[in-house]
Chain A
Amino acid sequence: MYKINYGIFFLVILFQINLKAKVTSQQEYIDSLISVATSLPNDSVKVVLLERIGYSYISLNPIEGKKYTTKALELARELGLTNREAASIALLAANCSANSEYDKALQHNLEAIEIFRSLNNQKGVAGVTTNLSQVYTKLGNYAKAIECNFEALKIYEETSEYRNKGIIYENIANIYYELKEFEKSKTYYLKALNLYKNHTVDADEARCLGNLARIYMEIPHYDTAMIYLNKAFNINQKNGNKTGALINLSNIGNVHSRKEEYAEALEYHYKALEIANNLGLKNFIATGKGNIGEVYLSQYKKSSPFNHNLIDNAQNYLTDAIAICDEIDFKAPKVDFLESLIEVYVIQKNYQKAYHLINKKIAINDSLYSLASKEQLSKLETQREIDLKDKDLLIKNKELEIISLNNQKKSLLYTFAIIVLIILLFVAFTYYRKKEKKHYEVISEIKQIQSHEVRGPIATILGLIKLLKDKNRSDESKLELIEGIEETTNKLNNIVNQIINNTKK
């Protein structure tokens, strides 16, 4: 069974053009862009249009996508548009990643980040860093992936980009999902959902709900998974997001399949396949057919007496799915489908074909990066966290973690975070002292901030912590106090940031 997890390449930031409502077929939509692009002179608008074509091809046909992003890149270089050059490289990376060429994707992403950095385009850096984290996730390098996410998060913390922050939380959740740390994964999905609900469009919420449902499929808690998937499906349906709806239907089919409700599973997979056919999305046609084939195989194994029509159906659908995977070089699900088809051939006693496929599968497996064991990855992650300890980033992150836990031990961590903030403030203050001779008036302003602005929240936090420690309080009341600490610490953090920004001037 191939579960579709939606990798979100969010390159929205790279585009200034707002496009009209989606055309029925993705290919038609792209064709219309191409016809406009060919009629344009070689200017910056054309570069953006070529990028948009490349972006639209990511999920449809990354090989074509690579072609157009390369064109965009060449034109951007010719015109000396450095920002667009970086954007094109980032899109090229996204297409490489969609085409399972993770090495190239890695290289291009790093290249794009470097250019954005040299342009001091923080948003660009953050966007591509997030994409890079997804490549690292695919490569199984979860430690690096997490690092990238926190790196990007750090940039967004300063810009209050709620949607992008949400996407990063979702990425982190996806990583924990891969690590099978379902509780942590759930926490981050819920964080992301929370941001989406308050700040952005439904499409993000729907995707996140769909991803959250995958956790309940693993735990397993199929009824909850179903609730989330239906919720996501309704949102997608309402907004006409056909690809999203397709993914939901396919995953609903997977839940039914897990529950051995094969008739329902088939119904939903067929619905998903129909949408994929209408939209002309080959990767989803492949996964749809493959999933149907796998359901037939499971159904056959449970049938008594054996129903040979079912195994024939399985063979047909899986063969089709693998052929399409071959056509678009879609490696990840192909391994799953090959495995099922081998089983089909073994059942049919067609050992020659089975043997042939086993060799094919081994070849693909070798070409795909094999994931290291879970323990090793966790170790890497822990190591990474230790490395980051000196950075305020981790403190920020710890703060976020702590908020959700309302016990004594955690409030001690809070105190730690506050102390570090105070140290930061002290550093900022000392920095000011050095400039004292030149800027006496600046100093008195800082003194003002120091004594009123900064001492205020610190006193509040100390008071709240004391209340938290000294009394036999109900959990509810403790939570209120912790919320107070959170709110006030955020306020303090903003003041410190403000002071640091002032020192830069």
Chain B
Amino acid sequence: MKFNSILVIDDSKYDLFIATEILNDYCDVKEVVCVDSGQKGLAYLQSKENKIGELPEIIFLDIKMPLMDGFDFLNLYNQLSDKIKNYCKIYMLSSSLDPTDIVRAKNNKDVIDFIEKPLSEEQIGKLFN
């Protein structure tokens, strides 16, 4: 599968680095956009509201982040326009093994799947190929 843009939202700079490397290497993507907070992620999506073609097709979202965590992000994301929501697919990308986190993520209607960190070649293969 080919992608124009993938957005990664994570507060850890090394996790962003890993995701970027893996996506660039094993995924056919033109651009990987990294932001280190949920706020910045929302702002980025809103800035592209009228440029649908530039929106990310895929969003990888971390759960544990300071101030606004992954679930807070999802609540606010839900209030965005349908244009955006229909275009983007969200995957939760987290190191959490807490079953409540996993169930909560999978039950959210905007979330496609829950992926365990670290992001790897195998996982990319399972998701997109």
Query: Chain A residues in contact with chain B, CB under 8 A?
Result: 447-448, 450-452, 455-456, 458-460, 462-464, 466-467, 470-471, 484, 487-488
Contact = CB atoms under 8 A, between A and B. Distances in A.
B12 interface: yes
5 contacts: A451-B98, A452-B96, A459-B95, A459-B117, A460-B95
Interface stretch (B13-21, B51-59, B106-114): B13-21
Contacts of B64: 452, 456
The 8 closest A-B pairs by CB, nearest first: A463-B118, A459-B117, A459-B95, A463-B18, A451-B98, A455-B95, A484-B14, A456-B95
Given A460-B117, A463-B22, 20 more contacts: A447-B98, A448-B98, A452-B63, A452-B64, A452-B96, A452-B98, A455-B97, A455-B117, A456-B12, A456-B64, A456-B95, A456-B117, A460-B95, A464-B18, A466-B118, A466-B120, A467-B22, A484-B17, A487-B14, A488-B14
B101 A451 contact: yes
B61 interface: no
Contacts of A464: 14, 18
B12 A462 contact: no
B84 interface: no
A459 B22 CA distance: 14
Interface of B: 12, 14-15, 17-18, 21-22, 25, 63-64, 95-98, 101, 116-121
Contacts of A488: 14
B98 A460 contact: no
Contact of A467 (B12, B21, B63, B97): B21
Contacts of A466: 18, 118, 120
A460 B119 CA distance: 9
A459 B98 contact: no
Nearest to A467: B21
B14 A455 contact: no
Contacts of B101: 451
For the residues of A in contact with B, the DSSP-based class is: helix
A463 B119 contact: yes
Contacts of B121: 470
Contact of A459 (B17, B21, B25, B118): B118
Contacts of B120: 463, 466
A467 B95 contact: no
A458 B95 contact: yes
B97 A451 contact: yes
Contacts of A470: 121
A460 B97 contact: no
Most chain B CB within a 10 A radius of its CB, from A447, A456, A458, A487? A456
B95 A452 contact: yes
Contacts of A447: 98
Given A456-B12, A459-B117, A459-B118, A467 B98 contact: no
Given A467-B18, A488-B14, A460 B118 contact: yes
Contacts of B21: 467
B61 to A, nearest CB: 15
Contacts of B117: 455-456, 459-460, 463
B46 to A, nearest CB: 28
Nearest to A470: B121
A456 B12 CA distance: 9
Given A452-B64, A456-B64, A463 B98 contact: no
Contacts of A484: 14, 17
A460 B15 CA distance: 6
Contacts of A462: 118
Nearest to A483: B14
A377 to B, nearest CB: 41
Nearest to A485: B14
Contacts of A471: 25
A247 B55 CA distance: 67
Contacts of A467: 18, 21-22
Contacts of A455: 95-97, 117
A471 B22 CA distance: 11
Contacts of A450: 97
Contacts of A451: 96-98, 101
Nearest to B118: A463
Contacts of B22: 463, 467
Nearest to B100: A451
B15 A463 contact: yes
A280 B79 CA distance: 81
Among B21, B22, B120, chain A packs the most CB atoms within 10 A around the CB of B21
B80 to A, nearest CB: 27
A458 B12 CA distance: 13
Q: Which of A447, A459, A462 has the most CB of B within 10 A?
A: A459
Contacts of A460: 12, 14-15, 18, 95, 117-118
Listed residue (B14, B18, B116, B121) with the most chain A CB atoms within 10 angstroms of its CB: B14
Contacts of B116: 459
Nearest to A463: B118
A451 to B, nearest CB: 4
A451 B64 CA distance: 10
Nearest to B120: A466
B95 to A, nearest CB: 4
Contacts of B14: 460, 463-464, 484, 487-488
A488 B64 CA distance: 16
A459 B17 CA distance: 13
